[in-house]
Structure 1
Amino acid sequence: MLEHGGRLLRAVRQYGIAREQWLDLSSGIAPWPFPIPAIPLDAWARLPETEDGLEDSARAYYGASQLLPVAGSQAAIQALPLMRAACRVGVLSPCYAEHPYAWQRAGHQLVELGESQVEAALDSLDVLVLVNPNNPTGHRVPRDRLLAWHARLAARGGWLLVDEAFMDNTPAGSVMDCAERPGLIVLRSFGKFFGLAGVRLGFVAAEHSLLLRLAEWLGPWTVNGPTRVLAQASLADQAAQRTQIERCAAASHRLAAMLSGAGLAPTGGCDLFQYVRSEGAARLHDFLARRGILVRLFEHPAAVRLGLPASEGDEQRLALALAAYQKETA
């Protein structure tokens, strides 16, 4: 299994600090979950059915003409590489590690690319995979550039796969509305923006024929009934969505300022996390963990990613720890 954020129980065992004493900032998930609606008994007792209102709510929210709900975007990440014959796949790097892992495991030839290398390499690729905003750096590729890349790939039967797991806070950059075009596949994650990662829900937007193939590949009942009810309510709650966008942006701005004040100016980030490249990343990760603060460590390149603190108290706790780290390393 690849390394991911949210491995709190492992940190509990490693550092000997009780779970309730941790401040977990290791995942880029909004720390303010949307309210859970009343779940009718039928949602638990009956097999879930498609087109029960969830798909309509999702199409309206994402601005997509057609999409497929899946059990977390991870389900699609693992299935899509199995739906093409072995080919040459470019991955915009650094990247959410499950993407290159899934394509390589399925027997495809993998090419890691920086954004400046894509233009020269594009005509030699069958598939280009990227996360936008990037995970873990938060970097965004402009929409018009993505659509130009897609046009070149699609002209040869290729795919552009765009994972927009962190796009909800800045939806103007999305290409979801163009995903009916052949060869453009867009993934969205429900759990991150709505703060409900535990429900395991994602969406895939693509041309109709590909969605049919993917649905058949994944099989029936991939999204459970209670999740379908919960997601419909969240996707329709425009007031809560506006509040979430505003408080995430404000909290991310405060986090960036806090890190800069501690001599750890972010080198990337978005409205759900901040990213700091540093040769001392492992030392910072351990220093914070020994104080019950869990952040995400990356080795190549050496960096840490910090999710948003949920409260003023959490921010103060992090600020004190960062000040202590700055003093120790001065």
Structure 2
Amino acid sequence: MLEHGGNLNDAARHYGRPRSQWLDLSTGINPRPYPAPAIAADAWHRLPEASPALEQAACAYYGAPRMLAVAGTQAAIQALPQLRLRQDGRPAQVVVAAPIYAEHAHCWQRAGHAVREVPYAALDEAVQGAACDVLVLCNPNNPTGTRVAPAQLLQWAAHLAARGGWLVVDEAFGDTFPEQSVAAHTAAHTASSGLIVLRSVGKFFGLAGLRLGFVAAAPTLLDALADWLGPWTISGPAQQIGCAALGDSQWQQATLQQLLAAGERLQALLAAHGIASHGTALFQWWPEPQAVAFHQAMAQEGIWVRLFTRGAGGIRLGLPPDEAGWERLQQALHRWSRRG
């Protein structure tokens, strides 16, 4: 398996520090999760039937005409390369934006497709070329926070759809940039019928353990994906909690403002210690020349951050959960900036 953030058991074993003593900033998950309601007793007892209420709540929140609930967007990331093979009958020429959440390229390669990783700045040229059946990107990007304008995405989607191609847009971190979403354009019988949008309940709502995400796409593609994934993919408790979270507009608005302020605070804290970062309200990223040394220095302080070693190397930091965490991070950054 690929390495991901949130691997706190690995950190505890490697550094000999109990889990309870770590400040985990290695993910971009909201550290103040949605308060899950009490679960009805039959949710634990009955097989989970498909929930029209959950789909309706997702469509209303994300603005999509139709959505399929999946067991986290990871389930869709793994299934789409297989579905493409079944539908097209041959491996595809796949362009994956770089850098990106590593599972995208990994899953397309593992399914036998020809994958090229292309920097965001060169994506337009790659799409226009003949060697691109599928384009995959995150918007905003994970880990850098780079964003592509919706108009550009729709232009790419139409270009690819005209030759039977797909545009896969992972909007897992899109909740704090709702105006950037293209989920509303995933209707059938349009020039963008090959547009596929992934959304996650784990990041903004802080419910990563729920394993709940959604795919917006043309109905024919969603039906094929549902058939591929099989029955009972979303547990009864996840359906109930998901409905509550997606329908709670008061919590959503308050959380959006809190996260936007926290994201600005994190960027300002890093800047005060000589680090020019960028990202989203949920994380900050920067290309760090001494990425391995920074990662190790933070680990010695009991702070777990996300290390990226490909290319020039980089660091991603999530949000501390409380004032004690902010103070701990500030002290660690102070010692790092004063190292000699």
Same fold (TM over 0.5): yes
The Cα shift of 1:62 comes to: 0.6
Is 1:150 aligned to 2:157, yes or no?
yes
Q: How does 1:137-176 map to 2 (within 5 A)?
A: 137-176=144-183
Q: Which residue of 2 aligns with 1:4?
A: 4
Structure 2 Cα separation of the partners of residues 183 and 20 of structure 1:
45
Q: TM-score with structure 1 length normalisation?
A: 0.98
Q: How does 1:46-57 map to 2 (within 5 A)?
A: 46-57=46-57
Structure 2 Cα separation of the partners of residues 117 and 327 of structure 1:
38
SS in 1 for 2:176: coil
Structure 2 Cα separation of the partners of residues 57 and 313 of structure 1:
36
Q: Please tell me the residue identity of whatever aligns with 1:121.
A: A
Q: Which runs of 5+ in 1 are unaligned?
A: none
Structure 1 Cα separation of the partners of residues 51 and 2 of structure 2:
34
Q: How does 1:264-283 map to 2 (within 5 A)?
A: 264-266=275-277, 268-283=278-293
Q: Which residue of 2 aligns with 1:93?
A: 98
The Cα shift of 1:278 comes to: 1.1
Q: TM-score with structure 2 length normalisation?
A: 0.95
Aligned residues: 328
Structure 1 Cα separation of the partners of residues 186 and 52 of structure 2:
22
Q: Which residue of 1 aligns with 2:245?
A: 234
Q: Please tell me the residue identity of whatever aligns with 1:146.
A: L
Structure 2 Cα separation of the partners of residues 75 and 171 of structure 1:
23
Q: Which runs of 5+ in 2 are unaligned?
A: 85-89
SS in 1 for 2:260: helix
Is 1:136 aligned to 2:136, yes or no?
no
SS in 1 for 2:99: coil
Q: Which residue of 1 aligns with 2:309?
A: 299
Structure 2 Cα separation of the partners of residues 317 and 243 of structure 1:
26
After TM superposition, the runs of 4+ consecutive aligned structure 1 residues lying more than 6 A away are none
Tell me the alpha carbon deviations over residues 156-202 of structure 1, each in whole angstroms, 9 at most, x when there is no partner.
01000000000011110000000124100000011110001001011
Structure 1 Cα separation of the partners of residues 83 and 41 of structure 2:
37
The answer (yes or no) to whether the contact 2:48–2:234 under 8 Å persists in 1 is: yes
Structure 1 Cα separation of the partners of residues 159 and 303 of structure 2:
45
SS in 2 for 1:10: helix
Q: Which residue of 2 aligns with 1:45?
A: 45
Structure 1 residues 24, 209: closer, same or farther in 2, change over 3 A?
same
Q: Which residue of 2 aligns with 1:284?
A: 294
The Cα shift of 1:51 comes to: 2.9
SS in 2 for 1:50: coil
Q: Please tell me the residue identity of whatever aligns with 1:284.
A: F
Q: How does 1:108-119 map to 2 (within 5 A)?
A: 108-119=113-124
Structure 2 Cα separation of the partners of residues 244 and 299 of structure 1:
32
The Cα shift of 1:52 comes to: 4.2
Structure 2 Cα separation of the partners of residues 161 and 88 of structure 1:
13
Q: Which residue of 2 aligns with 1:19?
A: 19
SS in 1 for 2:202: helix
Q: Please tell me the residue identity of whatever aligns with 1:256.
A: Q
Tell me the alpha carbon deviations over residues 108-136 of structure 1, each in whole angstroms, 9 at most, x when there is no partner.
11111122322222132100000000000
SS in 1 for 2:293: helix
Q: Paired residue for 1:193, among 204, 210, 221?
A: 204
Q: How does 1:258-269 map to 2 (within 5 A)?
A: 258-266=269-277, 268-269=278-279
**Aligned-residue identity in percent:** 53
Q: Please tell me the residue identity of whatever aligns with 2:176.
A: N
Tell me the alpha carbon deviations over residues 38-72 of structure 1, each in whole angstroms, 9 at most, x when there is no partner.
10001111111113411111111111111100000
RMSD of the TM alignment (CA)?
Answer: 0.9
